[in-house]
Structure 1
Amino acid sequence: MDTWTVALLGDAGVGKTTLALQVFPNMYDQTYDPNLDDGPYRKKLIVDNKMCFIEVIDTRGSEDYDNLRDEWIREAQGFVLIYSVASRSSFDQVEKFHQCMGRICQESPIFVLVSNKCDKAYEREVSKEEGSTLASQLGCEFIETSAKTAQNVDRMFLNLIRLLRRS
């Protein structure tokens, strides 16, 4: 059975933990405390009629965790680069996380770019087109998600697992 470790990378507050919790039914918690360590998350999934095991590492977005983040990147085979549609600064930080992956990974990293919190359209600071353009520049798939409503969260993980299987 395939086993994959996936690291969620992005600025603080973009919804990494909530995305991870959506992999597990009925675990979404609107009272999340970012100071508590809740990962890694583990689960068996069926992707394209084939069972696999996924471990999701919920990295912290703060610079206080840079050394830990480097270790988490070394452990992972796949990555989800995440920013919030409601935060221009989180979008601007994506390149930093991409460069960090490139610096640490032995081979070309396998990743998807995720624009989270699409349920907050009224607070949008980053257009879908900007996200799509950045994904093209980085050479990866682009997905808009809502960790709160679970929109496209399964698709995000399934597509990343498919990419990992092809690598």
Structure 2
Amino acid sequence: MSKYNGPSSGSSSQTQTYKLVVVGGGGVGKSAITIQFIQEFSAMREQYMRSGEGFLLVFSLNDHSSFDEIPKFQKQILRVKDRDEFPMLMVGNKCDLERQRQVSLEEAQSASRNMMIPYIECSAKLRINVDQAFHELVRIVRKFQIAERPLIEESYKKKNKKKCCVL
């Protein structure tokens, strides 16, 4: 599902939000069309990032330039979330195309260590490690939220504490 904030039909300067859905059979290019549009409108990407609770940072193992973009996406997520860390999992896709591989396992693991996020390789085409990637991200999100809970509760207690001053 995509949201598009375009000009409203009225003459006011308000922005109208439309939820658009892209449908079609497998392999027809739905993702390619959506990604092409979202790449042009980085503000839309940031809107999705604001509401995300966990992120898969996906690159193609047979396209080094997609791998080179991963740190940029991580920085953008951390900036939008205004955090030093957030639940993320780096995913190298197309592990089935070993002969066309441009990003080595060692290079990907090194980058994931530098970014301090876990790494997994998968093949969406052959359904290798796809479920594992999502399950791992859910584990990362849960662990993060449990670690955050005491901070949120402490902040809430401080905010609602009655204060008294005797002169």
Q: Structure 1 length normalisation: TM-score?
A: 0.66
The aligned counterpart of 2:81 is 105
SS at match of 1:81: strand
Q: Distance in 1 between matches of 2:37 and 2:99?
A: 24
Instruction: State percent identity of aligned pairs.
Output: 29
Q: Which structure's relative contact order is higher, taking Cα pairs within 8 Å and 6+ residues apart?
A: 1
* CA 1:35–1:111: 2 relative to 1, 3 Å: closer
The corresponding residue for 2:128 is 151
Contact 1:114–1:143 under 8 Å retained in 2: yes
- Please show how residues 83-98 of structure 1 align to structure 2 within 5 Å: 83-98=59-74
In structure 2, relative to structure 1, the CA distance for the partners of 1:28 and 1:118 (3 Å cut) is: farther
- Structure 2 residue runs of 5 or longer lacking an equivalent are 1-23, 145-167
Distance 1:60 1:140, change over 3 A: farther
Q: What count of residue pairs does the alignment treat as equivalent?
A: 120
Higher strand share: 1
**8 Å contact 1:83–1:116 — kept in the other structure?**
yes
Letter in 2 for 1:145: C
CA distance in 2, matches of 1:95, 1:61: 21
* Code of the aligned partner of 1:106: D
Secondary structure, aligned partner of 2:28: coil
RMSD over aligned Cα atoms: 2.1
Q: Secondary structure at the match of 2:41?
A: helix
Match of 2:39 in 1: 63
Aligned counterparts, 1:18-167, within 5 A: 29-34=26-31, 63-107=39-83, 108-167=85-144
**Structure 2 counterpart of 1:32, one-letter code:** G
The 8 Å contact of residues 61 and 95 in structure 2, kept in 1 or not, is answered as yes
| Contact preservation (8 Å) 2:50, 2:81 | yes
TM-score, scaled to structure 2 = 0.66
- C-alpha contact (below 8 Å) 1:60/1:69 kept by paired residues: no
The runs of 5 or more residues in structure 1 that have no matched partner are 1-26, 38-58
8 Å CA contact 1:73, 1:104 repeated in 2: yes
